[in-house]
Amino acid sequence: MKLSNAKCLQGEISVPGDKSISHRAVMFGSIAKGTTEITGFLNSADCNSTIACFSQMGIDISKQKNTVLVNGKGLHGLTAPSSVLDAGNSGTTVRLMSGILSAQSFSSTITGDSSICKRPMKRIMEPLSLMGADITSINQNDCAPLSINGSSLHGISYHTKTASAQVKSSILLAGLYADSKTSVTEPQISRNHSEIMLRAFGADLSVSDKTVSINPATELYAQKVAVPGDISSAAYFIAAGLITPNSEILIKNVGINETRDGIIRVVQSMGGNITLLNERTACGEKIADILVKSSSLKAVTIEGAIIPTLIDELPVIAVLAAYAKGTTVIKDAAELKVKECNRIDAVTRNLQSMGGDITPTDDGFIIRGGSSLHSSNIETCHDHRIAMSFAIADLIADGNNTYDYPECVCISYPSFYDDLRKLQKSYVKFK
Ligand code: S3P
């Protein structure tokens, strides 16, 4: 893989479908009545784990490229899985599905890979237990595998400690099956795809500031879901276009939901040349084409309510900060420690190994930009976002990075390297 020393990146690209929305469309389609048609589905390892789990519970799901048909059997149509449900590397799958599994008339066990089995599950076990769920961590370490005996659930009013769409959604899904209204209040607003999509499927859901409430449902109904491109995947090309000289990239059909658009706001305040074109709305989600051009970037401070809107983009934002002028401070992002890997450690180690000046903190980083970076051996920690972020850092670094497990991009973006190469090739072609 030789992606380094890009002279410029030119061209148009469509990134794959949004991961969060793709998971939800399969889940909600599975517990709705009728056939849900999903177009623009993210055909990646994570979303395929969700499909496999629902297939194991008797749901007929067919896939042709990026179109998926989910033959939902209604709110009470799932059947007991004959073996352990495997969420692979996907936190969204384990946490959201736990909300659904807690209310079924059967018992199940859900687990995942070695990363999943280290990630905190107490954050869902606690509220679900308060609702009456019988959910336990088999190894008694508050992590997966989780054993869930389906129970009757009660509505609760719950305040989460951290802004997490996975926790919020898990509780809301359990709330569909509860005997009274369920409310979740977050310290900051996390991504709201569940709220938008559950309403479209017929759930009685209301939002007031940081509180989302849901009433018990009798049935959800199949929908057509058009999945926009994933802004978390677009983020790598936004960063690539900004740092690579003489570049201009048009990223088409990207979801710019205001609970996900922090990267755009941060890049603008860094002085990045980024323009939103052709803004529109589909299936309740805002979409735009994003035009990005090479820019001189300056440092910023990123903290507070914006953090949940760009949490997955912080590794690549750290790379941008390393190429920016001045000292960037990222705070209030302790959640980075409990993602697919400890991303505070992984970003720090890899950026330092490339010659970057970065100090980790308890809840983020301090990055002194402007040092010229050189190639290194990147430890991906089998984390897709670490691999992709350092492929971007590599573009204008001296030499070529090597990666211990570059294939991990298949979790969210199987064609990432090909797409990046295409933008480099179009430069060569047009020169
Ligand atoms: C996601 C929510 C976020 C995000 C993850 C996907 C979702 O996690 O980091 O990649 O689909 O709900 P948290 O809910 O843990 O913040």
- Mean pLDDT confidence for 233-241: 98
- Amino acid at site 326: G
Total count of residues recorded for the chain: 431
Instruction: Classify residue 169 by burial, with Cβ atoms within 10 Å: 0-12, 13-18, 19+.
Output: buried
Q: Is 309 in the pocket of ligand 1 (CB under 6 A)?
A: no
Q: Determine the average pLDDT of the residues in 361-378.
A: 96
Question: How many angstroms is it from 176 CA to the middle of ligand 1?
Answer: 20
The answer to whether the CB of 92 is under 6 A from ligand 1 is yes
Q: Is residue 234 within 8 Å of residue 251, measured between CB atoms?
A: yes
Burial zone of 366 (CB within 10 Å; 0-12 exposed, 13-18 middle, 19+ buried) = middle
Mutation probe of ligand 1 site: the residue of 191, 306, 340 with most atoms within 8 A of C-beta: 191
Nearest residue to 322 (alpha-carbon basis) of 352, 362, 343, 295: 352
Instruction: Output the CA–CA distances (angstroms, integers) from residue 108 to 50, 87, 111, 237, 420, in the order listed.
Output: 15, 13, 10, 40, 41
Token pair, residue 308, equals: 């949940």
Sequence-ordered strand ranges (E) for 188-344: 205-208, 211-214, 220-221, 224-226, 248-255, 273-282, 285-293, 301-302, 327-330
* Ligand 1 pocket, residue 311 CB under 6 Å: yes
pLDDT in tens, 256-266: 999 999 999 99
CA-based nearest residue to 23, from 2, 4, 41, 5: 41
What pLDDT is recorded for position 7? 78
Ligand 1 center from residue 164 Cα (angstroms): 6
| Helix, strand or coil, per DSSP, at residue 357 | strand
Task: Indicate if ligand 1 lies below 6 Å from the C-beta of 165.
Answer: yes
Q: How far is the CA of 11 from the centre of ligand 1 (A)?
A: 30
Q: Is 93 in the pocket of ligand 1 (CB under 6 A)?
A: no
Examine the pLDDT at 111 and tell me if it is beyond 60.
Answer: yes
pLDDT tens, residue by residue, 384-426: 999 999 999 999 999 999 999 999 999 999 999 999 999 986 6
User: 427 falls in which pLDDT band (50, 70, 90)?
Assistant: low
Distances (CA, A) of 397 to 165, 329, 422: 35, 22, 19
127-185 pLDDT, tens digit each? 999 999 999 999 999 999 999 999 999 999 999 999 999 999 999 999 999 999 999 99
Q: Which atom of ligand 1 is nearest to the CA of 311?
A: 9
Q: Tell me, in angstroms, the distance from the centre of ligand 1 to residue 132's CA.
A: 24
What are 206's strand-pairing partners?
Answer: 213
233 pocket-lining for ligand 1 (C-beta < 6 Å): no
Atom 15 (ligand 1) nearest CA: 164
Cβ(164) to ligand 1 under 6 A? yes
Q: List active site positions.
A: 312
pLDDT of residue 33: 98
Whether pTM exceeds 0.75: yes
* Omega prior to 315 cis, within 30 of 0: no
Q: Is the CB of 412 under 6 A from ligand 1?
A: no
| Residue having the nearest C-alpha atom to atom 13 of ligand 1 | 164
Q: Does residue 183's CB lie within 6 angstroms of at least one atom of ligand 1?
A: no
* Of the listed ranges 15-19, 52-56, 91-95, 424-428, the one predicted with least confidence: 424-428
Average pLDDT of the residues in 29-50:
98
Can you read off the two tokens belonging to residue 23?
């998971």
Is the model's pLDDT at 27 over the cut of 70? yes
The pair of structure tokens assigned to 431 is 């020169």
Query: For residues 413 and 419, what is the distance between their CA atoms, to the nearest angstrom?
Result: 10
Q: Which atom of ligand 1 is nearest to the CA of 194?
A: 12
Nearest residue to 394 via CA among 425, 426, 421: 421
Q: How much is the pLDDT for 431?
A: 35
- Mean pLDDT over all residues of the chain? 96
Closest CA to 176 of 27, 397, 4, 365: 27
- Among 57, 21, 35, 387, which Cα is nearest to 236's? 387
Strands (E), 123-210: 134-137, 146-149, 157-159, 182-185, 205-208
Q: How many CB atoms lie within 10 A of CB 161?
A: 10
**Is 396 in contact with 5 (CB distance < 8 Å)?**
yes
**Beta-bridge mates of residue 13:** 251
pLDDT of residue 65: 87
Cα-to-centroid distance, 219 and ligand 1 (Å):
26
- pLDDT tier, 430 (very low <50, low <70, confident <90, very high otherwise): very low
Q: How many CA atoms lie within 13 A of 59 on its CB side?
A: 32
What is the rounded average pLDDT of the residues 324-342?
Answer: 98
Q: Give distance in angstroms: CA of 308 to centre of ligand 1.
A: 9
Residue nearest to atom 4 of ligand 1 (CA): 312
Shortest CA distance to 228 belongs to which of 414, 11, 16? 16
3-state secondary structure of 200: helix
Distance of CA 360 to the CA centre of its chain: 23
Residues 185-196: b if buried by 16+ CB within 10 A, e if exposed = ebebbbbbbbbb
